[in-house]
Structure 1
Amino acid sequence: MVGRQKANWLLRGIRNLKTTLATPPYFPSLANNIRQGFNRLIKYVARKKLVLFVIGLLLSFGAIIFAAILPSAHIFEGNLIVEEMSFTYSGQEPKLFLQSMRQITNLESEGIQTLTFTGKFKSESLPQLNQLDTLKIELNDSKSKLIIAPANPKLPSEIDLSELRLQPNTTVAGLSYDSYNKILNFYLQPHLAPELSNTPNNLKLYLGEQPLKISLEGYKFIGINLAISPDTQTPIEFNLTPDNKELKLEITQNNKIYITTFRPPQDESEQWFRGKIATKDVQFQRVDSNGNLSDNLAISTIIEGKIRMVEQEREIRQNQFLMGKKADTPLNIERISHLQIAPEKGLEVRISGKTEQIKIGLDKEFPVSSIQGSWLDGVLPRDAIIALFSFGAATITYLLSVLIDNAFKSTSKS
């Protein structure tokens, strides 16, 4: 019985649908129904516009939060006092690094190089040199030494370092200044590459007119036959009154340099270092090694300093490490803007570069302070970002409270 009623209802529906489709006014009636439905939708949206506004605001606020946490590289700058530092010159042209070092009382160079002295020679241990006016010397070992000093230490030294130019891809390691002994020392490490011209790092000296004391270890005389061949491992000393007042040391291999001066620079006009050095692999640490690579211990050489990025500043205390995003990679310092002697402390260095994150801590694996740059920091100032978050949070809180109140009112009415 029930099945028969359902079948009859279905047949009546089909007949009514055919009648409707056959009636000419069907299409205007359909358009009218669509129009009425659209009007009802508009009225519904109007009634619910507050809900849609809140949803849109939440989506916008979510996008802002995402932009605020999305990492992005930003420019940083810092000023540090350090005991020791190392860097690699990353420029494409030779760069003036040292200049105008006056009254050098002792210059020591350790490494392989070839040089020529001209003038009057005087040697008690090797009197054959007294007959020469030119002497070409080859320092043929990594431990070979050349020492230049005034013959009479009581007189003011006339030895000056005119300039030292760094060739591209040269590393300056272990750069430090001993304030007590007034010694500047560093380790030049040229990195030869096929694409570079491999021009030597040129250190130019002004020798003055006074007699000099020259000391050699691990040497070989070139182009002369001596009646008595000295033991090249035994140090030799001789005096030289130079004819040529300038001496150029061409450094093509690793070379340690120690320069002792009568006094440090006194003012800005006497500063030794030339700034604006394009750099990479800048490090403020030294490695304490006992011969076993796995036992090497990194020790921070930072005394104090400050660093700033995305309008945030952090203080760096003594012995803390300055790191980038990863603890095992140095901070991406792209330029040394300024470098000078810090009296009684060491070296003062101003740095800049670009990175996503800066970390600071006594232990590389456990940094205690950091600065993180986001995509939003590149669009808005930090104060504007804080104000935007405060406004958005307050607005959403207020609108949600209004929605909740309306919901309770609608429920109570129904």
Structure 2
Amino acid sequence: MAKPKTVYYCTGCGFESARWLGRCPSCDAWNTFDDAPVVRPAKGASARAVATPLRAAGPVRLAAIEETRIARRRTGMREFDGLLGGGIVPGSLVLLGGPPGAGKSTLLLQLATALARDGAGTVYVCGEESAAQTKLRAQRIGAADSLLVFPETNLRAVLDALERDVPEILVVDSIQTMWLPDVESFAGSVSQIRDCTQVLMEFAKRTGCATFVVGHVTKDGAIAGPRLLEHLVDTVLYFEGDASGEYRIVRAYKNRFGGIDEICVFSMDDRGLHEVADPSALFLQSRGARPSGTCVVPTLVGQRPVLVEIQALVGEAAYGTPRRLAANVDAARLAMIIAILERRAGMQLGGHDIYCSVAGGLRVVETGADLGIALAIASAFRDIPLASGAVAFGELGLSGELRSVSLPVRRAAEATKLGFTRLIAPDAARDVATAIRLAFD
């Protein structure tokens, strides 16, 4: 009897190899390879047995295609609907990723519950938990009894059962636990994840069933599995920030039916996730007098202006090489801003440690926060707070000039709505040195 073939796989990202490797070439993790026997399909089974998609007879002129209006399904969560671009698109495939404990399963169970209560046919496929465990979690968050739960990991059995009565919404938790009996690999491997996602995509497009898929992440925070997984789906949502905190931030990294970089903020308690309607008030927290080293910035998250507090700390370096640490801010951008302050504003920062972060856990990546970072560092360096009621935004050029950024009127309107009275922007100052003088007056 022939010895079963063994394949080695990375437990962090699912990369497969014919031999054991000390370091994974996909995620660069060390000593993460494990072995598993290859499951051979039954005779006559196809190596890639997926439902055959409908194919057009040939090219069709764009003008000849009939126009169809997409009726989006509202979830009952206003902020989450905005994150998706206005609601759930029929036939869409949405991937939700995030670190363990962030609330992926809780959010989708709440979503499925709200839709089932609203009369939409909803099926929740629980591959990681038994039906009894899912019910315990559902009772904690007040789930509807009309929600259909399908405890199964064989994706072919799941889709065959749903073909008889196609639901409007399908939730798969998670894609790493699903497997196809006709694929020569184990659940969670690259080939299983890829083929299961392709089968789900074909099912969603053919039947119009909107499908949500939970995806695990690697040690580096990337969604586990092949990069093809993110290319196949229509929308990629990801939990950001500290998973142990009270608040959760979900960001859209890809959206074929809406804007990217939009966020939805949730607060989490023992009853589940609750939407935060005003993220600016959350990220600002205290509205009293601010200490030195802080600056409020109206930043853009997608198309929404959100006010965040940027904090900086400057101290003399204890060792020969000063430290430059950034939390939720681009480290390369921080280094450039420090160089501009030294060269164009006359600040001797070369012998100081500099720490910069964004309060609240929201990551700021746009260049409109450059001026706010510079003012926070200048305030910490001088140990003098900025003027009361001041907010700042603008991009810094290498010559020290301030450059305009997108949607300045909306940024200013958001700051005014929250009671800020002084705006430091490219219209008020031409360079960073002038902006610093205005900020301390």
What TM-score range do you get, normalising by the shorter chain?
under 0.3
TM-score w.r.t. the length of structure 2 is 0.22
TM-score w.r.t. the length of structure 1 is 0.23
Higher strand share: 1
Which structure has more RCO (C-alpha within 8 Å, separation ≥ 6)? 1
Q: Which has the larger radius of gyration?
A: 1
